[in-house]
Amino acid sequence: MTEVASSQARIDGSLAASRSFAERVVAWQRTHGRHDLPWQDSRDAYRIWLSEIMLQQTQVATVLPYYTRFVAEFPTVGALAAAPLDRVLGVWSGLGYYRRAHHLHAAAKIVVQNHGGRFPVEASALQTLPGVGRSTGAAMAAFASGERNAILDGNVARVLARHRGIQGWAGNGAVRASLWQAADLLVKQVGRGSRTSDGDDDIAAYTQGLMDIGATLCTRTRPRCDRCPLADDCVARREARIHDLPTPRPRKPLPQRTATLLLLQRDDEILLEQRPPLGIWAGLWSFPEVPDGNDVVAHVARSFEAACASLCALPPLVHTFTHFGLTMHPVAVVIADWPNRAAAPGAAWFTREAALAAAIPAPIRKLLRSYA
C-alpha cells in the first residue's frame, strides 16, 4: 500500500470509528443486512415469536421451510393453542430441540387464556411465556413494537466479546454479566442522530444488524473482518485475538448411552410407542425400547405376549445430543403369531407412510426410511 493510500485508510478508519457502535450497526444493516426473511415483512408479534423460537440454536436456512409450513398449519396463535400437541410435534418434527415445540404450544394457550388471544409486545410480558428468555423477549419487542432493550444471543455474544475484548466462556456467570453490561451500555446509543421517519425503526435495525453481523461476518471460524463495520475499534482484531475470543466452552468427555430399539411389524404395519412427556423426544413417537440388560426375546414375550420367530440386528445408528451421544441398536423382529389384540397403552400400529407423517424424531425417521 502506498503512503497516500495508507494515510487515507487511517483517515477513513478514524471517521468510521468516530460514529457510535450503534450507528455503524444500523447503517450496515440497512445496506448489507438481511431484509428478505418471511417474518420481516410485518410487526405481527405471533410470527416474530415463531421465528425467534425456531432460530434458537438453529440456522436460518434450516428454519425457513419449517417456518413456512408452521404458519400455514397454524396461522394464528388461537389455531396453535387449539391444536393437539401431537399435531404440533408432527409439524415441528425434524427441527430438533423438541422442548421448543412444547413451549410454543404452552405459550399459545397462555396468550389465549390470559391475553385474549392478543400477543403481547412488551419484553416484560413476553419474558413470562414458556421458552422466552431475556434476549428473545427483547428481540421480539424490538421488532414488534420498537421497544429498546439489549439482546445477547450466541452470535451477539461473540460480536461483543471480540469487540470489547471480553475474555472467558460466555456461559460463565461473571462473563455473561460483563457481556450483558456491554450490551446494555451500547443499546443506549440507538436512535441518537440516525432516527428515520418511522421513529422506532432504529432499534429493529440495530437488533437485526447485531444478529446479522454475528451470523454472516463475525463467525466462529473465518470471520470476515474486512467487511465488518465494527472492525476499526475491535479489541480482538487490534490485539490479534480474533480466534481466541470468545473463549470456547470447556471441553468435557461427552457421555455415551446405548439403546436397543425394536422394529416390530404386523403385516404392513409397524409398532410405535409414544415417549414420556419429559426427557429426550418428549411426546414423540418412536420404536419400543428394550431396557438395558433385558433379553430381546424375553422382553417381547413379556411386553407383547408374543413369541419371536426370528431376530435380525440392523446396523447401529449414532445420534449426538447436546449433552450426550446415543448409539441405537435396532433389531427387526418377526413374530411367529401376533395375538389378536390392540396395541398396548401408549403404543399404536402405523403403516409406514403414516409413521413417516407422524411426530417422530429425525433419527427414527432416518431409520424407518432405511428399513424397507
Q: Which of 215, 236, 235, 237 is nearest to 226 (CA)?
A: 237
Residues with a known catalytic role: 52
Task: State the Cα–Cα distance between residues 285 and 360, nearest whole angstrom.
Answer: 5
Task: State the Cα–Cα distance between residues 264 and 139, nearest whole angstrom.
Answer: 47
Contacts 24+ apart (CB under 8 A), 230-237: 230/21, 230/24, 230/25, 230/159, 230/163, 232/13, 232/14, 232/16, 232/17, 233/17, 233/163, 234/162, 234/163, 235/162, 235/163, 235/164, 235/165, 236/161, 236/162, 236/163, 236/165, 237/162
Q: Which of 219, 228, 227 is nearest to 246 (CA)?
A: 219
Task: State the Cα–Cα distance between residues 99 and 135, nearest whole angstrom.
Answer: 18
- C-alpha distance across the termini of the chain, in Å: 64
Task: State the Cα–Cα distance between residues 35 and 208, nearest whole angstrom.
Answer: 9
What is the secondary structure of 34-72 as a DSSP string?
A: ----GGGSS--HHHHHHHHHHTTTS-HHHHHHHHHHHHH
Grid cell in block for residue 272: 410405535
Grid cell in block for residue 116: 385474549
Task: State the Cα–Cα distance between residues 28 and 15, nearest whole angstrom.
Answer: 15
| Residues present in the chain in total | 372
Q: Which amino acid is located at 9 in the chain?
A: A
Task: State the Cα–Cα distance between residues 123 and 132, nearest whole angstrom.
Answer: 9
Query: Residue 196, CB half-sphere, CA atoms under 13 Å: how many?
Result: 13
